[in-house]
Structure 1
Amino acid sequence: MNKKTYEVLAETFRREDIDTCFALLGDANMNWATSLAGMGVRMIYVRHEHCAVAAAMAYARKTGKVGVATVTCGPGLTQIMTALPAAVRANLPLVVFAGEAPLKSGWYNQGIEQAPFITATGATYHALHHPARMPDAIRDAFLEARTMCRPVVLGVPFDLQDRPWEGDLSLPAPSAELVPQVGPIPPHPDDIARAVERIRDARRIVVMAGMGAVLAGAGAACRRLAQRCDALLATTLPARGLFHSDPYCLGIAGGFSSEAGRKLMGEADLVIAVGSILAQHNADDSKLFGQAHVLQIDIKPLTVSQARIAADSHIRADARLGVEALAAATERRPVTWRSEETARFIRETPADAEPFPIEPDVHDPRGVVAALESALPQEWEMVNSSGHCSYFFAQMPSRPQDRFLTIREFGAIGNGISFAMGVAAARPDSTVVLFDGDGSLMMHVQEIETIVRHGLNVLICVLNDGAYGSEIHKLRSEGLSDEGAVFGRPDFAAIARGFGAEGERVTNLSVLPGLIDKFSRTGGAAVWDFPVSDKVLSPVIRRAHGKGKH
């Protein structure tokens, strides 16, 4: 009975079958975190609190487990405000152990009302102030994260953590034992019958899969449905690569669509959206599908999504069961759209063929991505960041969904290196390749040291245009000075070496196969700096901010 409360709380976490925790220590969480580490949980000690939560997000996505992070109270907690909305919108289950200011103090320098900050992001906050109830509250937090697929933050005053434990040492059953054991939701026959009529009357159909389809294992069923109804395939951005080997896959549906994808999706008169929330970007603000009827298959069907009418009819069902039932009930149609001509058009049309003059001594970013797509081993894990460069890196059609991570639901840059750490922790026997921009990488470049210190196997490929790419192009389109978004080209190779990693400035793409061969043999941490032109605008920027838009 000599245990401290923080030891009992750490033991309650350990019983939740966690094996990794991303942490930055302070007064209000360091005893708890040290106790958790002593119980065999792998601790990844990062250099910024945001990075702890962002890494836990990628870890949760890759493992299917609840991601766990810990930060201290006050400023430690306020630093995670950018990561939490992204986790909420990406439906990622997290539990964050955050301290709170000591209750016994009349005033504390780092004291702050923490709950409003957390709830403003859409996450849940629980203040744990009754020690005897704390183990049950932790179990309930994991249960909420698992069943609701969202982040839960626990605030525990650190003077209460330090008290001798006076409660029962028989801890509650872990949350996994309490998750309702229910089967997937089958579709109603009437919904299937109406959808079959809709398919029968349609001329050109696209079957589009989202993350719900990925999680339900609906990929094969979507292919069968597309074959039966002469449909083409597409995915949302997070699900990109689900149909990477199918010759009739258009790739990403949304702002990141290729030229071939935009043309063919614009011809569709029926889009069958499987396990997708039908976000604004997914339909490129309603400009992608034209006048197509949208049929949604989802366990939570909706009509309005992100302030737009997104779906016209619905099948309420598990993604896989819904698609399987629809495919079984659909009479096979004659092949017209799924022709060799269509497959050739998809295969041979460049994602973006817009010509740009490229200055000497810099690359076209599209050329860099094509070279990496050709040379990087298929089994390596890819991580795409946010920002202007992310469009280019998304155009890697040979990469399967389970080897390519994209989380960008909040539109924030600076997350890439954290996501790469999370994937590296989830896939310790794999090589992780991060694709990032210079502005994004600079936001948390200190985490190169974390990668080196923890022996994570991460290669960072950075497109270095010396600026915030989206901002310079938008400012220029407005006829305004881009001075506030131009910073010059950092020498990322030298920065990497300063942190103990390998660094290369790649001025000739022909050396890539040799560099990749060397890294495949040595592993470790490395940064490859690709100087690219700041004159190449992605199609996303051109459509929204091109010449004549303002």
Structure 2
Amino acid sequence: MTTCGEFLVQQLQAWGVDTVFGIPGVHTVELYRGLPGSGIRHVTPRHEQGAGFMADGYARVTGKPGVCFIITGPGMTNILTAMGQAYADSIPMLVISSVNQRARLGSGNGYLHELPDQRAMVAGVSAFSHTLLDVEQLHEVLARAFAVFEGARPRPVHIELPLDIITAPADHLRLQARPVVARPTPPGEQIRQAAALLHGARAPLLLLGGGCVEAVDVARALAEALDAPTALTINAKGLLPAGHPLLLGSNQSLPPVRELAAQADVVLAIGTELGETDYDVVFDGGFQLGGQLIRIDIDAEQLQRNQRPHLAIHSDARQAMAALLDVLPARTAPGSGSQRAATACRRLAEGFADWGHYRALFERVLQVLPEARFVGDSTQTVYSGNHLVDLPAPRRWFNSSTGYGTLGYALPAAIGAKLAEPSRPVICLVGDGGLQFSLAELASAVEARLGIVILLWNNQGYGEIKRYMLERDITPLGVDIFTPDFVAIARGFGCQAHRAESLAHLGRLLQEAPEDRPLLIDIHQAPPFAP
């Protein structure tokens, strides 16, 4: 007999799933019956939150949904934070969990792992949460999940299977082809209106978000056709390569870019929430648009959030940008976009004058590992790198400082990123406080034989929060935490680990990084890390 759990594995593999993250438990072992020999790799984190962050990192690199098998009850409560981060950053994630037998749902009798309503609890961090009450529903609910991932704004989806459904007969089910879902196309009249506004603009500005990462070619062509200075959200880094004459970086919270936004007569925003963690990290409400706003987004509701548009176009980003390029008249005279961008960038560089140690750090890393991907937590190297670092392609810089803003993300997400593309170096940017949230995942990386580099920025506590408290005349409390010997701990897990004494030493450590296990490099912030 083929059970529903076994058939589920077969159907997922047929739809391109090659990796599953999960911790087996008594309520999920029947989901695991079909995994051996299936061709799907199983990765065991040390905590279900780690499973979710690994799936997140995998999804950001591949564009495919990261898949998790999670036990009912504590497994689901553990993964909620990871789902919250993925939800905020529009990351596709498929969380498949068990739940108590159908006859016991909502009973309140104290069965193992019982929750009053697990589905409702998860609904707030997912595009939808569904309880599979009949084997016959399996294809339909999976198709709905992949419709979210491929045809709408991607976000986590949760499907829970009661224990008696997991083991129910499914011999009569047949594998089905993966559904093809067309993304929304832009209305021609709205595209013509947008093209007319943009063609007549004297000082256009282009704002590109993570919704554009699958359309690098048309995004760059559009920026150049408009001759528009271009700002990228953190998740859009690389859409314009480092050194591009129109690139403003990810500096929308800083005065030079804010002034361009206020002076622009037409602003085109594509695939971006225009949200706080990209446009107002100083939390003063100072990002204001002075001209007409054109918004393009795959999420119709998002078109009306944060900044109200003059023209709202509900569309897939690639299709809309390609349509605009088709109808935009050719420029008859050179524009001023590059000059405006260069002026802003010079002023930005002056403002970053005191960040030389951060700039030198990233320059040394990229000198040794020019193809590196950076996966970060909420930590000072990430905050500075969000402003300083530009890369030649997208999907090479992402972190949890955006959206939900959780700690503990970097290490497991870096594991997922390395599994997704083993040939590319992965740098995990993490602080000593954040690393302690998910330190046990060092064991997962060693077990999977992953050669990631963990760049630990060590200021012996929650340094950024301490500074925030002092600036507001609040006596620091709870921020000067005990800091363990990370080098000794990492070596105990089987990692290679060293403390970097200088940039030159850091470069040598990076050059000698092992390919089959993690390398932890402990960098003490004080005294200032210098060449």
State whether residues 5 and 33 of structure 2, in contact with CA within 8 Å, keep that contact through their aligned partners in structure 1.
no
Q: Does 1:392 align with 2:384?
A: yes
Shift in alpha-carbon separation, 1:351–1:155, aligned structure 2, 3 A: farther
- Structure 1, unmatched stretches of 5+, are 357-362, 537-550
1:397 aligned partner, one-letter code: D
Shift in alpha-carbon separation, 1:88–1:449, aligned structure 2, 3 A: same
Q: Deviations over 1:242-284 (max 9, x none)?
A: 10241220011534x5x75455445433321122232233332
**Residue 402 of structure 1 aligns to a residue in which SS?**
coil
State whether residues 185 and 299 of structure 1, in contact with CA within 8 Å, keep that contact through their aligned partners in structure 2.
no
Residue 276 of structure 2 is matched in structure 1 by 280
Residue 523 of structure 2 is matched in structure 1 by 530
1:279 aligned partner, one-letter code: G
State whether residues 277 and 403 of structure 2, in contact with CA within 8 Å, keep that contact through their aligned partners in structure 1.
no
**Residue 443 of structure 1 aligns to a residue in which SS?**
coil
Q: Does 1:490 align with 2:484?
A: yes
Q: Structure 2: how far apart are the matches of 1:224 and 1:143?
A: 29
The correspondence of residues 408-419 of structure 1 with structure 2, limited to 5 A, is: 408-419=402-413
Residue 158 of structure 1 is matched in structure 2 by 163
State whether residues 232 and 248 of structure 1, in contact with CA within 8 Å, keep that contact through their aligned partners in structure 2.
yes
Identity percentage of aligned residues: 26
After TM superposition, give the deviation of residue 371 of structure 1 in Å. 3.3
The correspondence of residues 109-128 of structure 1 with structure 2, limited to 5 A, is: 109-112=112-115, 113-128=117-132
How many residues align? The count is 516
1:480 aligned partner, one-letter code: I
Runs of 4+ in 1 over 6 A off after TM superposition: none
Q: Structure 2: how far apart are the matches of 1:131 and 1:303?
A: 35
Residue 5 of structure 2 is matched in structure 1 by 6
The correspondence of residues 267-346 of structure 1 with structure 2, limited to 5 A, is: 267-284=263-280, 286-300=285-299, 305-306=304-305, 308-327=306-325, 328-332=327-331, 334-335=333-334, 337-339=336-338, 343=342, 346=345
State whether residues 229 and 340 of structure 2, in contact with CA within 8 Å, keep that contact through their aligned partners in structure 1.
no
Residue 36 of structure 1 is matched in structure 2 by 35
State whether residues 21 and 68 of structure 2, in contact with CA within 8 Å, keep that contact through their aligned partners in structure 1.
yes
After TM superposition, give the deviation of residue 495 of structure 1 in Å. 1.8
Q: Structure 2: how far apart are the matches of 1:507 and 1:535?
A: 11
Q: Structure 2: how far apart are the matches of 1:5 and 1:302?
A: 36
Q: Deviations over 1:18-48 (max 9, x none)?
A: 1100011111112312431332210000000
Which of 502, 505, 508 is the equivalent residue of 1:511? Answer: 505
Q: Does 1:227 align with 2:232?
A: no
Q: Deviations over 1:39-79 (max 9, x none)?
A: 22100000000111121122122212222101111111111
Shift in alpha-carbon separation, 1:138–1:242, aligned structure 2, 3 A: closer
Q: Deviations over 1:430-471 (max 9, x none)?
A: 221111222211100100110000112211112111222332
**Residue 522 of structure 2 aligns to a residue in which SS?**
strand
1:92 aligned partner, one-letter code: I
Shift in alpha-carbon separation, 1:341–1:130, aligned structure 2, 3 A: closer
2:172 aligned partner, one-letter code: L
After TM superposition, give the deviation of residue 102 of structure 1 in Å. 3.9
State whether residues 365 and 532 of structure 1, in contact with CA within 8 Å, keep that contact through their aligned partners in structure 2.
no
Q: Structure 1: how far apart are the matches of 2:246 and 2:67?
A: 39
Q: Structure 1: how far apart are the matches of 2:339 and 2:252?
A: 25
Q: Deviations over 1:98-150 (max 9, x none)?
A: 11124566541321121121113244222223345446544554445444423
Residue 542 of structure 1 is matched in structure 2 by none
State whether residues 420 and 432 of structure 1, in contact with CA within 8 Å, keep that contact through their aligned partners in structure 2.
yes
State whether residues 94 and 157 of structure 2, in contact with CA within 8 Å, keep that contact through their aligned partners in structure 1.
yes
Identify which range, 489-498 or 196-205, moves more after superposition: 196-205
State whether residues 465 and 534 of structure 1, in contact with CA within 8 Å, keep that contact through their aligned partners in structure 2.
no
Which of 389, 399, 403 is the equivalent residue of 2:396? Answer: 403
State whether residues 68 and 95 of structure 1, in contact with CA within 8 Å, keep that contact through their aligned partners in structure 2.
yes
After TM superposition, give the deviation of residue 472 of structure 1 in Å. 1.0
After TM superposition, give the deviation of residue 531 of structure 1 in Å. 1.0
1:158 aligned partner, one-letter code: L
Shift in alpha-carbon separation, 1:346–1:135, aligned structure 2, 3 A: closer
Which of 420, 424, 428 is the equivalent residue of 1:426? Answer: 420
State whether residues 71 and 97 of structure 2, in contact with CA within 8 Å, keep that contact through their aligned partners in structure 1.
yes
**Residue 87 of structure 1 aligns to a residue in which SS?**
helix
Q: Does 1:382 align with 2:382?
A: no
2:462 aligned partner, one-letter code: Y
Residue 539 of structure 1 is matched in structure 2 by none
Identify which range, 42-51 or 461-470, moves more after superposition: 461-470
Which of 231, 238, 241 is the equivalent residue of 1:241? Answer: 238
2:485 aligned partner, one-letter code: D
Q: Structure 2: how far apart are the matches of 1:425 and 1:450?
A: 12
Q: Structure 2: how far apart are the matches of 1:183 and 1:203?
A: 32
Identify which range, 199-208 or 262-271, moves more after superposition: 262-271
